[in-house]
Amino acid sequence: MPASTRRQLIAVRCRYTGETHAEAAPGVGRDGTIGLDRCTPGQRRLRALLALHLLNCRPRRRSRLPAREIHHRSVWWSLNTLDVISAHYDQLVLRSSNPEVLMWPLSAWNTTYEIGLPGLRLMSRDSQGRYHLLHGPTGAVVRVDHRPPGRTGRDAEIVERLRGFHRIVGGHPELDESEQWLLGALPPVSGDAEQLLAALLVRLTSAHPEGRWAMDKVGFRDLACRADSWCSLWGHGDHWRLRWMSAVPSMVVGEALTDPVFGLAGAELAPLRPGFVVHYRQATLRLRGPEGRVWG
C-alpha cells in the first residue's frame, strides 16, 4: 500500500475515533482498511468478552445479584474516564484521563466474582504510567494509557515480553474457582457473533465526524448515575440482543456498526420493531434502546 494511502486511512480513522495520528497509526495495517476489526483471534475473543462484561446490568428490583449490580454501577462510573479506544492488531489500548481509576473495573477481582474481567491480570506498569494487562484464557494484551499518550518506542518490546510470559506459564496463573465458574456459565458465541460483539466494543467511544451519530459508550454516565437505567447484552450462538435504557437511541449503535466508512465490513442494518437489527454473515445483533419506553 502506498504511504499516502495509509496516511489517508489513518486520517479517516482519527476523524471517527478521536485518536491522534500517533495513536491511530499502529492500528492501521496495509490491508486497505482502518484496522479496527483486524486482530488476532485472541484479541477478538477478549473484545467480545469485554463487551459482555461491560454491557450487562439490570435495575436492583430485577437483579438476582444486587451486589453485582452495585459493582457494575461502579464499573460504569469508572468508565467515565475512558476517552478513546485504540484497537490494534495485537493489543487493545484504552486511553484514559485517569488510568488508575479505569484499571479498577478491568482487573480488580475478588472471590465473589463481582468485579473485573475473569482472567485479566495486571502484569506491569512502566515509567510513563502505562498499565499492561494480560488476559490468560485468550493470551490477549490490554494496555491502559494516559491521554495524551507518552512515547511508544518500547511498546512492541513489552508486548513480546508478555507473550513470552504467557508461553512460559502455559497460558496464565490458574484462574480461581469463581472465575472458572463465570467463564463456564457464559453462553457459546459463534465466530460471526464474536466478530460482531468485538466490533461493538471497539466503537464504544466513536462518533461520526459530521455529528450524525455518537456512541457515547451507550450512555455510561446515565447508566452509572440513574437508578432506572440499565443495560443487557446476551444471546446464544449466532443470535444476540443488546437492550439498554439511557439517552442513546438504538439507531446510533446500528449506524456506528454499519457506517459505510467506519463500520464492520459486511454488516447491514435493518428495522425490527421495536428497534433495529444488525446482520453480519450468519450472526444477528438486535438493538433496542430507550425508544417507546418511559424514561426520564
Nearest one of 189, 272, 271, 274 to 233, comparing CA atoms: 189
Q: What confidence score (pLDDT) does residue 59 get?
A: 53
The length of the chain, given as a count of residues: 296
- pLDDT band per the 50, 70, 90 thresholds, residue 296: very low
In order of 39, 73, 123, 263, 277, the CA distances from 36 in angstroms are: 8, 28, 25, 9, 21
Mean pLDDT, rounded, for 256-269 = 97
pLDDT at 204 over 90: yes
Task: Decide: 51 and 113 in contact? Cβ < 8 Å.
Answer: no
Rounded Cα gap, residues 152 and 24, in angstroms: 12
| Residues near 64 by beta carbon (within 8 Å), at least 6 away in sequence | none
Cell numbers standing for residue 273 = 420493531
pTM confidence score: 0.86
Q: What confidence score (pLDDT) does residue 270 get?
A: 97
Give pLDDT tens digits for 74-85: 676 677 889 999
Who has greater pLDDT, 106 or 68? 106
Give pLDDT tens digits for 216-251: 998 876 666 666 678 889 999 999 999 998 888 999
Q: What confidence score (pLDDT) does residue 172 get?
A: 53
